[in-house]
Structure 1
Amino acid sequence: MSNRMNMRCRTLVFRNSDENFEDGLAIAADIISKGGTVAFPTETVYGLGADALNADAVHKIFKAKGRPADNPLIVHIANIHQCIELAEEIPADAMKLMEKFWPGPLTLILKAKDVVPDVTTGGLYTVGLRMPDNPVALELIRRSDTPIAAPSANTSGSPSPTTADHVIHDLDGKIDAILDGGPTQIGLESTVVDMTDKIPTILRPGQVSVEDIKECVGDVRIGYRDRTLEEGEVARSPGMKYTHYSPKTKVILIEGNIKDVHKAMTEIVSDCHREGERVGLFVTEETAKIVNADEIYSLGKREVPSQAARSIFMGLRHLDSTNIDLIIVDGTLNKEGIGAAVFNRLRKAADRIINA
């Protein structure tokens, strides 16, 4: 199969543009069943999957990514029956959320049954479950006949992958196979909600917003912060404890009113140029018309944060590849809805945050 030779190492790549993609799906499912690792697309980002119930297989995920062992994984399922097999109990509110948002970008934290190994849960008594809204992902789970544990398919701490090429860049030769299903639709990881208490707690923001969850189940708590946890704090969800989403290039996020943000950007660009440094801007379309630099990547329109969600990781990766010394990110984006999730990721990616 020619597409199996698309990489310079042992990793196999199966692209959905190839006639034999169905054969690739079958091979990928067999790899999962035999304890291997496969990167696959979801509607959010690409995941790096292994049999969630096979501790040895899950350890391979941590090794490939360089991921800390106390960082729990999300388990992807294809039907409610798998949820019943993995969760000790399913509260009524959890079932309401499943019925409304599954398949989709929502992860629910539930009490885990003993069948789920500690390596998958990060040593916790809980497990994160979600049903992805992507035909390739669902078919892989069905054909593998097992739930699939899958964090994002990138080097731990770097920007999440939204294309198969991002996965190739980070994990070539470190995993068994990649299913290329094209660019992801949303571009931002799932919302995570802890359902183990009477009042649901949002541990990570995503496309399913606080307002969406309140409308479905009533009161909710906010359990996340736009920074990483301190040493000794327990990560109840992926994305809480360790550095995430960061390119190698230094990142400055500037927030505040539009006029002051533009002024601060212009001053920093000028200072960098005086020092002989090149600057990249990751900014809204509106800001790009006012502030200039050596490289510019668009976040999309200021009032359409869903465009920023699709471009955030693509943009950080692109600017990181352009031989610049600094990335300046535009903090004038609308923070409502998925905009809150975008800022959560940008603040964690930033080396410095300026309030202009």
Structure 2
Amino acid sequence: MSEVRAVVSTGKGRPVEVVTINVPDPGPGEAVVRVQACGVCHTDLHYREGGISDDYPFLLGHEAAGVVEAVGDGVRNVEPGDFVVLNWRAVCGLCRACRRGRPQYCFDTHNAAQPMTLTDGTPLSPALGIGAFAERTLVHSGQCTKVDPQARPAVAGLLGCGVMAGIGAAVNTGGAGPGDTVAVIGCGGVGDGAVAGAAMAGARRIIAVDTDPTKLEWARQFGATHVVNAAESDSVEAIRDLTGGFGADVVVEAVGRPETFEQAFYARDLAGTVVLVGVPTPEMELRLPMLDVFARGGAIKSSWYGDCLPERDFPMLVELYLQGRLPLEKFVTEEIALDQVEQAFDKMHRGEVLRSVVTF
């Protein structure tokens, strides 16, 4: 067992604290990872605000990269010294989705069995089963995905959540490809990931939609060919005007609100695809005329973690980054210390950063 510094949320709405925690030695199937970098994601803020559950105290942080320090019995996929990106969907290989050859939909993903604790023995709830705002963390070995160690940790770690969710929403879930028109509603980290994914896939027209001019400029950096300020014009009409009156082949909704989902639905072409990757809150409800759903054809999908397979997608995307074909470094607005996470939440809330990244 080791003692390390970590960021913990102790109650709804309270500022996070940097405290000392205990990290157990790895048991069977587990690994201890020395964290080198961890992005500050909106999901961490949702945990702090009680939007995920009330299982306080939470050990925050999940968008991380680092080096494996130790592994438990039976671990074969990684060994000490491996540079890894952490993922929060370590597939089981045994559930009905895995047995049908659809492991990206695994219904029984793995986490570490042992709890990390406060020094008084209080168990911690690690964000998304990872808890990486810490100098070391304990995870299931399947949550460790080896990637090329030439990648900077601050960049590679972003594949652990938001960027992968966005890229996968456009490419894996939406099926965007060469010649397609793609619209992305909401241009934060996930939305810009979708823009970057569409560009990487060869989409001929990529329309970014947001109400914040700064975010629209960020979207241009990732490959948006057109931008729409939704505070100044009707998003659906603007997307239709830019697509010859037809609508986009793929529309990614990266906000998670009923009104923006409805815009996405009506902004797609006939037989097009709408992808919901923005996370709604429990009280939200959606109403659409059933005749419109029938008459417009196509597909309405939700995207879980970009429908990714970490062992397939992380190494490939890191390689594209190292080749200069995927601008992952542009997602990193600033690198910060562990005790600056609360300030990073404030900057995120004000829309001043795309990603703050804690580096160790």
Interval of TM-score (by shorter of Structure 1 and Structure 2) = under 0.3
TM-score (norm 2): 0.26
Greater share of residues in strand:
2
